[in-house]
Chains A and B, each alone.
Chain A
Amino acid sequence: GEDVEQSLFLSVREGDSSVINCTYTDSSSTYLYWYKQEPGAGLQLLTYIFSNMDMKQDQRLTVLLNKKDKHLSLRIADTQTGDSAIYFCAESMGGYNKLIFGAGTRLAVHP
Chain B
Amino acid sequence: DGGITQSPKYLFRKEGQNVTLSCEQNLNHDAMYWYRQDPGQGLRLIYYSQIVNDFQKGDIAEGYSVSREKKESFPLTVTSAQKNPTAFYLCASSPGQGMTEQFFGPGTRLTVL
Contact = CB atoms under 8 A, between A and B. Distances in A.
A30 B104 contact: no
B42 A103 contact: yes
Interface in A2-47: 30-31, 33, 35, 40-45
A97 B105 contact: no
A44 B90 CA distance: 12
24 contacts: A31-B100, A31-B101, A33-B101, A35-B104, A41-B106, A41-B107, A42-B90, A42-B104, A42-B105, A42-B106, A43-B43, A43-B90, A44-B104, A45-B101, A45-B102, A45-B104, A88-B42, A88-B43, A97-B94, A98-B48, A99-B100, A101-B42, A104-B41, A104-B42
Contacts of A44: 104
Give chain A's interface secondary structure class. Answer: strand
B91 to A, nearest CB: 8
Contact of A45 (B48, B50, B103): B103
Given A42-B90, A43-B90, A88-B42, A99 B107 contact: no
A103 B41 contact: yes
Interface of B is mostly: strand
Nearest to B88: A40
Contacts of A103: 41-42
A98 B6 CA distance: 20
A102 B90 CA distance: 15
B21 to A, nearest CB: 13
Contacts of B96: 97
B45 interface: yes
A6 to B, nearest CB: 9
B46 interface: no
Contacts of B94: 97
Nearest to B90: A42
